[in-house]
Amino acid sequence: MRKKTKRLKLINFQKLKLFTFSPMLALIFIAVLPVFSLISCTSEDAATAAIGTAAAVPVAMWICFVVIVWLAGIFFFVIWIITLVDCAKRENEYFPSAGENTKLLWVLIIVFAGWIGAIIYYFLVMKKMPRKK
């Protein structure tokens, strides 16, 4: 009975894998579609509409790019704020190789290095030595 269950799960996974769709493939399809409509056009109005559609594809791709960059910016800003608050609330002795000015040094690194400093702080301090509550 167990062998049949495992085999059915494998078959379902394979069927699911057949229907997965790559976003890059979708963008290529959207970009090429107006070109095919240009080939079959017989009137001037249809050709003008197809050219307008072909020009809209790069604009749509640019808008998607801007939205993705904007969301990444928000994500890194949130990470920056979280690490800055953690650094400010952390006791000086909970830093690795804690010295007299370790907390001040990390705050300056996070503030002046931005999201890169926040990622460095996360891997070197937050992940290695979780803050005691």
Per-residue confidence at 33, pLDDT binned at 50, 70, 90? Answer: low
Distance from C-alpha of 53 to C-alpha of 31, rounded to nearest angstrom: 9
pLDDT digits (tens, 9 = 90+) for 59-91: 888 888 999 999 999 999 999 999 999 999 988
Taking 70 as the threshold, does the pLDDT of residue 46 lie above it? no
Distance from C-alpha of 74 to C-alpha of 62, rounded to nearest angstrom: 18
Sketch the domain layout of the chain as residue ranges: 20-126
pTM of the prediction?
A: 0.56
Under a CB-based contact definition with an 8 Å cutoff, are residues 55 and 98 in contact?
A: no
